[in-house]
Amino acid sequence: MISIRTIGLTLALVGGLATAGLASAAAPPAPKSNGLALTPPIGWSSWNNFGEDINEQLVVESIDAMIANGMRDAGYIFVNLDDGWQRYKGKRSDHPLEVDPKKFPRGIAWLANYAHERGMKLGIYSGPGQTTCAGYTGSEGHEREDAKMFASWGIDHLKYDACCSHREAPKTELQRIFKTMSDSLMAQQRGIILHACHCGWGDIWEWAGALGINHWRIGQDISDDFNYPGNREKYYFDVLDQLDRGVGIERFSGPGHWNDYDMLIVGLNGKSKQLVGSGASNTEYRTHFSLWAMVSSPMLVGADVRKLDAYSLETLTNKEIIALNQDAAGNIAEKVRDDGDLEVFAKELSDGSHAVLLLNRGAATAEITFSPRRDMQVPMDRYSVRDLWQHRDMGTYEIPFTAEVQSHEARVFRIRQLSTSPNGRSVSDGAAEQSTR
């Protein structure tokens, strides 16, 4: 049984270390806008579960499944082909870039049309080298021509991946290759979102927005783990690694130009043919999803959407959590309190309310106390609290609130300022404990 209760001014996290609150540091260079991705792109990507093993039937079935299971209506409109749609492996100087006719017999334009007719969007993948990460022909030397081809097919999103071809490239070279594709896309009549994938290297968040790039990975590939000791295969980042990577670079992210914490692992359950990792618990997947929503990361589901179990689907289609990700203000939650294993993230939403996430990274259940004044430096003396996983209004508070948070759980609340009551008391005053589950 989890409970939430009001407590005078007693803090459960005695000796806690408050962090910077919601103040932000020096402003990054002004982003160049193509008018796209004003909220983070959310949808499905083929890579995390299927790798190169993709084809037309899989994509059609995935679109149909996302419509039938409510994902599209919850906002997941992007259907993104990752590496493996191309016909040839080997250097671009030796082969043209064409669709594999065995995998996609009716071509990509047909597939884009299939998506568009159903209110969805189609994404594709290439890279700035001679070859892509999986060894298919890249776009080097043919950027304008490829951008034109993608636009003619009706493509809406391009993942442009430099992780393998330009791993050691200096920053100036990275900026050149991404600018070339960004300019090539912007020269098309069709708006195409550009994801510059460079696995979080070259401080890409510092300069990508100014080149007109819509999102960029802040870390190496995610693995299907919540908190694996160290890095799997000395490379992969788990959920908490990605989260920690984003702390301190929030100011580079916003409408049209997002820090990307990598694709969602919810529903993979350690069974992906493609991705390493032993899977996470339902609670951990839910925490991962809540965190990505709070930091407004693009959210591309990596699991097989045709076979999602009920719990994963309920997690992914929680509209109150998705609303935090898709909020028009585009604020990125900051870590406003860090007490070792117990952390608090918060951000302001476009209607003036705030989203608050209480995270327990530890092994044992713990109480976490949140105070708007102390943790966000917001003088909110009377406020309502809504639990976004239980879909329940918790009442009115005039003092900090405390919630019990299980190991690896994140509890997420939306709090709204209320006018001060005439007698200075809140409806929750005197109620020693309110059961929430």
The residues annotated with a catalytic role in the active site are: 161, 221
Residue 106 DSSP label: T
Contacting residue, 163, 291, 303, 399, with ligand GAL by CB under 6 A = 163
Which residue minimizes CB distance to ligand GAL?
133
Closer CB to ligand GAL, 47 or 401, in the complex? 47
Contacting residue, 13, 43, 47, 238, with ligand GAL by CB under 6 A = 47
Contacting residue, 22, 60, 164, 380, with ligand GAL by CB under 6 A = 164
Contacting residue, 56, 146, 161, 260, with ligand GAL by CB under 6 A = 161
266-296 burial, b at 16+ Cβ within 10 Å, e below that, comes to bbbbeebebbbbebbeebbbbbbbbbbbbbb
Dihedral pair phi/psi, residue 22, rounded to 5°? -100, 10
384-408 burial, b at 16+ Cβ within 10 Å, e below that, comes to bbbbbbbeeebbbbbbbbbbbbeeb
- Residue range at the interface with ligand GAL (CB under 6 A); choices 99-107, 129-137, 168-176, 305-313: 129-137
Dihedral pair phi/psi, residue 126, rounded to 5°? -155, -170
Contacting residue, 22, 58, 60, 134, with ligand GAL by CB under 6 A = 134
CA distance 376 to 134: 45
In the shown chain, the binding pattern of residues 83 to 122 toward ligand GAL, with x for contact by CB under 6 A and - for none, equals x---------------------------------------
Q: How far is the CB of 255 from ligand GAL (least distance, A)?
A: 24
Q: How far is the CB of 82 from ligand GAL (least distance, A)?
A: 5
CA distance 122 to 120: 7
Q: Is 199 in the site for ligand GAL (CB under 6 A)?
A: yes
Q: At what angle do helices 282-294 and 239-246 cross, to 10 degrees?
A: 20
Closer CB to ligand GAL, 155 or 321, in the complex? 155
- Residue range at the interface with ligand GAL (CB under 6 A); choices 67-75, 98-106, 157-165, 316-324: 157-165
Q: How far is the CB of 125 from ligand GAL (least distance, A)?
A: 6
| Residue list 233-292, contact with ligand GAL (CB under 6 A) | none
Other Cβ atoms less than 10 A from the Cβ of 416: the count is 16
Q: Is 218 in the site for ligand GAL (CB under 6 A)?
A: no
CA distance 59 to 77: 13
- Residue range at the interface with ligand GAL (CB under 6 A); choices 103-111, 159-167, 235-243, 344-352: 159-167
Q: Is 323 in the site for ligand GAL (CB under 6 A)?
A: no
Closer CB to ligand GAL, 158 or 394, in the complex? 158
Q: Is 82 in the site for ligand GAL (CB under 6 A)?
A: yes
124 Cβ neighbours under 8 A, 6+ residues apart:
80, 81, 85, 108, 150, 153, 155, 157, 158, 159
CA distance 320 to 297: 16
C-beta separation of 264 from 386 below 8 A? no
117 Cβ neighbours under 8 A, 6+ residues apart:
none
Q: Is 221 in the site for ligand GAL (CB under 6 A)?
A: yes
Site of interaction with ligand GAL (CB under 6 A): 47, 82-83, 132-134, 161, 163-164, 197, 199, 221
